[in-house]
Chains A and B, each alone.
Chain A
Amino acid sequence: MKFSIALILLISVIILIPELVSGMDNINPEIPLEPMIISGLVLVIVYVLIAFDLIHRTLAALLGASTILFISTTLGAFNKNYQILSFNDAIDAIDFNVVFLLMGMMIIVAIMRGTGVFQWTAYKSYELAKGDIWRLTIILMIVTAVLSALLDNVTTILLLTPVTIEIALILRINPWALIFPEIMASNIGGTATLIGDPPNILIGSSSGLSFNAFLFNLGPIALITLLALIGMMYFFFSKEYKKNKNNNVPELLKRLKREYKIENQALLNQCLIVLGFVIVLFFLHDELKMEPSIAAMTGAMILLLISRTHIGEMLDEVEWPTLVFFMMLFIIVGAAEKNGLIPAIAEIVVQISGKDPTSTIVIVIWISGIMSAIVDNIPFTASMIPVVEYLNQVIPGIDPNILWWALALGADFGGNATIIGASSNIVAAGIAERSGYAIRFKDFIKIGMPVAIVSMILSTAYLLIRY
């Protein structure tokens, strides 16, 4: 079924794209149509392959990038119209700041994970809550949001969710009442910083916006949305939160303390010192004219040295498929941009918005939110970055940064709407299912969609009022 839908979509795209592109009246007549059509087709095919999970996303991106380069160097040798992207242009299109930043943070997170600090945090949250489930939920939401703002969401959710479910099962409450707040808080927390979510890393690197700029501009709305989330979660799960009167708190605390202790205190101290150092560098990177990737790589290197991790093991810790995915994606989007497809799409946005800044902001944030709920927000953001760059040049009187914030908020918050909106949603749903509390697509939408819509409304109002 999934394959049939994807196939029909692909065939439609292959038939329609040349028609659409040739029908666009905003295309520069000096640019040949062939490379634009091919790069557009490749981009859409890669999207479909990823969206329908037909092949691994890294393989889809590799297929797209190698197709572009293969056509450019074979057909392109005979006909210049098929020179979609040269090898040198492909290398230039890769944003190594993003690649190295991800690599550095991956190493830091991987080493930190081994200390058991994530699970210990969940136990401490229960201790702080003194057995009150509603208080525990609020603490867990704050903890998850902060961890997700500084580290990656999948690790945070994968390590916190099982402890949370264990607590819920022992207290005989529905684990959904704790898991949903965690999932939503993770996506909201990741919005607050440059390193919190991959779309922010992409936007930060392309726009040159600093860590501080992200924190000061997106931090307040992330906080407002988190407060709204707290209220919404109470609305959805108040019955469960009121169930905690007859539980043996000291006994559960004893059990959690025994199971979730810090496994390596010395390593944790080293990790915290290095992470602190890296965060200080993030705050200062704009003044130092230092790319954030240098801060992350420096931190990872120091941590590797002091923790005496084996270099081979260190390389195992790096999530290479994700890094390759990013690199190939840059090549695909670079080709679409170079051949005029992305400016053409941006021009359509300009025409719809009538060059009105307010309309443009609303279009960017809502389209990003809707798309991120349906497709992987990483390729979507990568494709939207050149569109936003173009819009910043042609919309008169628009604050040069506001569209970046609109894109980040839409791409990040949209992930809460559906189970496939973010990797961490899928991970949490998988663990919940194996604990007897399956979260199906429609179950997720019932809670995630209202949260995403409220987040988007708040974000739209925030952007329009503040800027």
Chain B
Amino acid sequence: MGKISHIVVLTIGSDGCKKAVDKGIKIAIKENCKITFIYIVDTSFLSGIPRRIHGVNRAEKDLNRIGRIILERAREKASKKEAKVATAIRTGNIMEELERFLKESKGDLLIISSEKRGFLDTHLSLASSKRLEEITGISVLEIE
């Protein structure tokens, strides 16, 4: 791996993600590079529920707000250690949104948490990480 200029950390605020955040901050300080924490609002678990009647659209807004709190926590941590930090929030399919963001932001290291049978594990399995590496051409670091 060459010089890292931009680390992207995917988080949903779980214990595993907190470890990924810590690892990302550590590398960012060492490499003196930018670090971005991203939260992706995904409401696929509500697919069986009619969108209008139960206010699923509203749930997207609410999850967005929760995502911002999670990102704020990560930003606070990074700022305390004087890392160059940014946050991003996206809505949609986790894999697709992550691919898009990595291309847009020109990230060169993605850090994700690999929790056994966890939410991110379901959406970003090891095979997906390899696929991500192939598609975006950047390194993917999985924190267990």
Contacts and interface: CB of A to CB of B under 8 A. Distances in A.
Interface of A: 56, 106, 109-110, 113, 119, 154-155, 158-159, 162-163, 165-166, 169-170, 259, 316-319, 321-322, 423, 426-427, 430-431, 433-438, 440
Nearest to A441: B117
B66 A427 contact: no
B54 to A, nearest CB: 5
Given A319-B53, A427-B46, A427-B49, A435 B13 contact: yes
A430 B46 contact: yes
Nearest to B62: A162
Contacts of A162: 59, 62-63, 65-66
A434 B119 contact: yes
B103 interface: no
Contact of B59 (A106, A110, A158): A158
Given A316-B52, A433-B45, A436-B14, A113 B58 contact: yes
B119 A56 contact: no
A312 to B, nearest CB: 12
B14 A165 contact: no
B55 A113 contact: yes
Interface of A is mostly: helix
A426 B46 CA distance: 9
B87 to A, nearest CB: 15
B53 A110 contact: yes
9 contacts: A119-B62, A155-B53, A158-B46, A159-B55, A159-B59, A162-B62, A317-B52, A423-B49, A431-B59
A109 B42 contact: no
B52 A166 contact: no
B117 to A, nearest CB: 7
* Highest count of chain A CB atoms <10 Å: which of B12, B48, B62: B62
Interface string B34-77: 00000001100110111011111011001101100110010000
Contacts of B48: 56
Interface in B83-116: 115
Contacts, number: 89
B69 A170 contact: yes
A430 B73 CA distance: 21
Nearest to B41: A434
A435 B66 contact: yes
Nearest to B40: A434
A109 to B, nearest CB: 7
A166 B59 CA distance: 12
Interface of B: 11-15, 17, 41-42, 45-46, 48-50, 52-56, 58-59, 62-63, 65-66, 69-70, 73, 115, 117-119
A170 B68 CA distance: 11
Nearest to B53: A319
A110 B17 contact: no
B119 A438 contact: yes
Nearest to B118: A438
B53 A166 contact: no
A437 B14 contact: yes
A283 B47 CA distance: 36
Contacts of A431: 59, 62-63
Contacts of A165: 66
A158 B123 CA distance: 22
B70 A158 contact: no
Contacts of B13: 169, 435-437
Contact of B65 (A154, A159, A166): A166
B53 to A, nearest CB: 5
Contacts of B41: 434
Contacts of A433: 12, 45, 119
Contacts of B42: 434
Nearest to B17: A436
A163 B62 contact: yes
B119 A317 contact: no
A423 B69 CA distance: 27
B17 A154 contact: no
Contacts of B62: 119, 162-163, 166, 431
B101 to A, nearest CB: 17
A428 B63 CA distance: 12
Given A433-B45, A438-B14, A166 B66 contact: yes
